Structure 1
């Protein structure tokens, strides 16, 4: 049964400028343990667009086990996102931008959802993971009832 669930998991690709994506995968692996059906693709200035699109296409084909692939990119409007969007027409993929560690942990722990549901959950986790910590702690301290 575990093998069957793993075979149906959504594949994961992180596309980012420089080595950001592979560093994030290493960080997620240090927290969650060994990860499968995932890849990171770096986009550097000297890379040819056609080569990056080929690598994206190959990864999407390899990682799609039947339920699609979620592509996490660093920033909406950036080259990694723009290149990933080229896969929307020919693959079962969804692109979610602004990748951060809460998003990555969510995607690896919720891969049994359908692609659309997973994309929404990952985006929500990313937004919820952004906190102005000092302000939050000061608010909590202000709202805390005085001790008798």
Structure 2
């Protein structure tokens, strides 16, 4: 089973996992690691690498981070020098849902691309959706 490691600032990653659990239930081989005030970046990086190794059950591990250039993504980037794994930056709920629901029927690199696509597709202007719905309602009322 593909492992999912979410590395973020503070408890953001755990919050996303908690929200996903409301929809899909609990999942195995999913971990979060949060960088908090006063944490050393070297120790954080060592933990990230430890989890990447520990969670790899033979199918790989996908890394998800909060934003590019932050310490969590920098730690993942440095871990890539020692371990080949996909990592997507900009973690959001659609991305994590994609990861937990489809990791059993694909390889880790394909899953990473599906997660990236789901993450991008999940960013939508709700105002535009509402406006489109109003236009459609007006059009159907004309009949």
Length-normalised TM-score, structure 2: 0.91
- The one-character-per-residue Cα deviations of 1:76-110 (angstroms, maximum 9, x if unpaired) are 12111111111112223111010011111000011
Specify the alignment match of 1:115 in structure 2: 108
**How many correspondences in the alignment?**
140
Contact 1:87 / 1:93 at 8 angstroms: preserved in 2? no
CA 1:38–1:146 in structure 2 vs 1: closer, same or farther (change >3 Å)?
closer
User: Take 1:118 and 1:104, find their aligned partners in 2: how far apart are those partners?
Assistant: 11
Q: Does 1:22 align with 2:14?
A: yes
Equivalent runs, 1:62-77 vs 2, <5 Å:
62-77=54-69
Residue equivalent to 1:33: 25
Partner of 2:38: 46
Give me the whole-angstrom Cα distance separating, in 2, the residues matched to 1:29 and 1:122.
17
Report 1:76-115 matches (<5 A). Answer: 76-112=68-104, 113-115=106-108
Q: Residue by residue, what CA displacement relative to the aligned partner does 1:37-75 show, whole Å, maximum 9, x if unpaired?
A: 011111123111110011011101110011111010001
User: Which of residues 116, 125, 136 in structure 2 aligns to 1:132?
Assistant: 125
Q: Distance in 1 between matches of 2:35 and 2:89?
A: 15
Q: Match of 1:72, SS?
A: strand
Distance (Å, rounded) in 2 between the aligned partners of 1:146 and 1:39: 48
